[in-house]
Structure 1
Amino acid sequence: MASLSIRIDLDPEGRIGPGKIELLEAIARTGSISAAGRAMDMSYRRAWDLVDELGHIFGQPVVASRAGGHKGGGATLTPLGEELIARYRMIQHSAANAARPHLEALQKIAARKPQPVE
């Protein structure tokens, strides 16, 4: 089935797309930047860089992290991080609903392609 992928380009160079949103959701689920990165086959460094990039885009942190120790470290989303997920998912849902008839039409066209002769 055809689907829609949304990437939001913000001024001047900030971008939010499915990967960053999935990372935030994984951090919320796992309570850890490193565990979220592992779940997405991503290095801790790459995961941290993406979290840091989102913080720079919005001028405030999207994740609050705690250093490790005898109680262990961890990470939670800030209210901004939670809002980013919610707004992105609302945009994605609205766009998918608006595009559904066009996506279905494109899928039907793709299904009609001629089959190779054997």
Structure 2
Amino acid sequence: MTHTPQVQFRMRIYRDGTIAIGPGRITLLEAIDRTGSISAAARHLKMSYRRAWLLVNDTNNALKQPAVTSSEGGASGGGSRLTETGQALIRHYRNIEAIAARSAQPDIDALTALIAR
């Protein structure tokens, strides 16, 4: 069996010793943007609603402006959406990943050449 090495950048930004921005939070924000709700995003990512809500709450509290806003249920069912800050968070995070990958490509190629396939 041939195994192809996979490279992943896992950048995290800490605030007061805890993760303020990281890959899991970015993935959650992207899922909220796609689904329009924290609960649907949690189901999609196979995590509990409570865990997703806590991550959103912690992320919002770490930022100057919230990344996600939510509306109560009712006739329209409520939901959540990303703010401009949330959109910017995803955009900048994914840009940093792409730039880092391009910049490090020669070293990535050298490292992955050392891995048995």
Distance 1:41 1:62 in 2: 21
Distance 2:10 2:104 in 1: 12
> Identity, % of aligned pairs?
47
Checking the alignment, whether the CA contact within 8 Å between 1:14 and 1:57 is kept in structure 2 is no
Distance 1:87 1:10 in 2: 16
RMSD over aligned Cα atoms: 1.4
* Cross-structure match for 1:21: 26
Checking the alignment, whether the CA contact within 8 Å between 2:12 and 2:23 is kept in structure 1 is no
Deviation digits for residues 1-42 of structure 1, max 9, x if unmatched?
331322222332342221110100000000010000110011
- Give the letter aligned to residue 59 of structure 2: L
Counterparts of 1:1-118 in structure 2, within 5 Å, are 1-15=5-19, 16-111=21-116
- Give the letter aligned to residue 16 of structure 2: P
Distance 2:18 2:103 in 1: 25
Give, in angstroms, the shift of residue 93 of structure 1: 0.6
Q: Higher Cα Rg: structure 1 or 2?
A: 1
* Count of aligned positions: 112
Q: How does the TM-score come out when normalised to structure 2? A: 0.88
Segments of 5+ residues of structure 2 without an aligned counterpart are none
- Give the letter aligned to residue 26 of structure 2: I
Secondary structure, aligned partner of 1:110: coil
Checking the alignment, whether the CA contact within 8 Å between 1:23 and 1:37 is kept in structure 2 is yes
Q: How does the TM-score come out when normalised to structure 1? A: 0.87
Deviation digits for residues 38-80 of structure 1, max 9, x if unmatched?
1001111100111111111113311111111121111110110
Distance 2:27 2:89 in 1: 11
Distance 1:7 1:50 in 2: 17
